[in-house]
């Protein structure tokens, strides 16, 4: 495997991480909380699609279509029942609540689906295995291209919604100043719930692609959360396109690390993340959330 090929594969991997990260980034951008259950919700979605695939005998790429509305509803209800309350409790409570939620989801899945490792690669058929041969050393898998394309579409779509639609304006207004947003008629809780729904749906997409690309099990959630978080931070908090860039940097770091030694791949990602944090850019990540917080305080 040449370096160039490693980079290309890293970019494709980055597409997957970006897809995981955009939901996390959205919830953080709108509600200023990190949903520690994000990875587990993605795995939940993957298991849902897995069950549908098993039950109906269809490709997971088709099964994801009915799964998305279900997960949209799950996200919406999740906010209405649990997250809305925890937002009122101060900055610590949502972290505690989402962490508890993550524990519940993970162990619930463990109980229902057993610790067996599964994959949706088989049922996905040719898409999962085929690739374009570009040169003798370089290939682009159908799946990699598909995932990257979906990531770009989703991120682009979200940007469009945020910039051009009334709902997007409401999300931005609520993110910048929920108090004043209420004073101009925007129902904050409804906005948050819909944002959560969208985030969970994108997480489901990411989870399904993960399942097709490799394996997954009930405890895959936390790892994906960490990667998603790293992608968000590397790319810059509060920037949707930043998460694409951050995901790609993370993916490339991991594949380059794997070239040195397969055991180093994840470690390489962590080290890049810590380096970004320690570096001068690390400071600028704080500026935005703090500024937003100060707006909330007045």
156: contact with another protein by CB under 8 A = no
Q: Please report, for the chain, how many H helices and E strands are present, in that order.
A: 15, 4
- Supply 229's token pair: 């978080």
Shortest approach of another protein to residue 114 CB, angstroms? 11
Instruction: Considering only the stretches 134-142, 152-160, 241-249, 275-283, report the one whose residues sit in contact with another protein under the rule CB under 8 A.
Output: 275-283
Shortest approach of another protein to residue 56 CB, angstroms? 28
86: contact with another protein by CB under 8 A = yes
116: contact with another protein by CB under 8 A = no
Task: Give yes or no for a contact between 22 and 155, defined as CB atoms under 8 angstroms apart.
Answer: yes
Nearer to another protein, 56 or 104 (CB): 104
Which of 170, 231, 243, 258 is close enough to bind another protein by CB under 8 A? 170
DSSP 114-162: -S--EESHHHHTHHHH-EEE-SSS-EEEHHHHHHHHHHHHHHHHHHHHH
161: contact with another protein by CB under 8 A = no
d(CA 210, CA 187): 35
Shortest approach of another protein to residue 89 CB, angstroms? 6
64: contact with another protein by CB under 8 A = no
d(CA 72, CA 87): 20
Largest CA distance in the chain: 62
φ and ψ at 60, to 5 degrees? -60, -25
Which of 56, 65, 73, 104 is close enough to bind another protein by CB under 8 A? 104
Question: CB burial class (10 A; 0-12, 13-18, 19+) of residue 167?
Answer: middle
Q: If DSSP codes are grouped into helix, strand and coil, which group holds residue 216? A: strand
290: contact with another protein by CB under 8 A = yes
127: contact with another protein by CB under 8 A = no
> Which residues bind to another protein, rule: CB under 8 A?
28, 32-34, 36, 82, 85-86, 89, 91-97, 99-104, 106-108, 110-111, 166, 169-170, 172-173, 176-177, 179-188, 222, 225-226, 229-230, 233, 237, 263-264, 266-267, 270-271, 273-274, 277-278, 282-283, 285-286, 289-290, 295, 297-298
């Amino acid at each position: 495997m040449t370096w160039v090929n490693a980079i290309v594969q890293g970019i494709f991997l980055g597409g997957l991480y970006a897809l995981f990260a955009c939901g996390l980034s959205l919830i953080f951008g709108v509600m200023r909380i990190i949903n520690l259950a994000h990875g587990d919700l993605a795995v939940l979605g993957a298991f849902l699609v897995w069950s549908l695939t098993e039950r109906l005998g269809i490709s997971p790429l088709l099964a994801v279509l009915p799964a998305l509305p279900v997960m949209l509803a799950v996200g919406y209800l999740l906010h209405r029942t649990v997250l809305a309350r925890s937002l009122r409790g101060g900055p610590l409570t949502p972290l505690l609540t989402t962490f508890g939620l993550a524990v519940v989801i993970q162990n619930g899945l463990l109980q229902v689906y057993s610790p067996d490792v599964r994959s949706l690669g088989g049922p996905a058929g040719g898409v999962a295995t085929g690739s374009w041969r570009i040169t003798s050393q370089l290939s682009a898998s159908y799946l990699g291209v598909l995932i990257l394309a979906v990531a770009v579409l989703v991120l682009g779509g979200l940007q469009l919604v945020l910039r051009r639609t009334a709902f997007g304006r409401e999300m931005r207004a609520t993110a910048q100043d929920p108090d004043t947003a209420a004073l101009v008629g925007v129902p904050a809780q409804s906005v948050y719930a819909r944002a959560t729904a969208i985030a969970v749906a994108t997480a489901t997409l990411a989870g399904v692609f993960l399942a097709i690309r490799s394996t997954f099990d009930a405890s895959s959630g936390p790892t994906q959360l960490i990667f998603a978080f790293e992608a968000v931070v590397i790319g810059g908090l509060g920037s949707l396109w930043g998460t694409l860039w951050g995901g790609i940097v993370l993916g490339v770091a991991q594949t380059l690390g794997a070239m040195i030694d397969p055991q180093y791949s994840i470690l390489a990602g962590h080290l890049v993340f810590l380096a970004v944090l320690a570096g001068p850019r690390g400071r600028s990540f704080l500026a935005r959330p703090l500024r937003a917080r100060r707006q909330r305080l007045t």
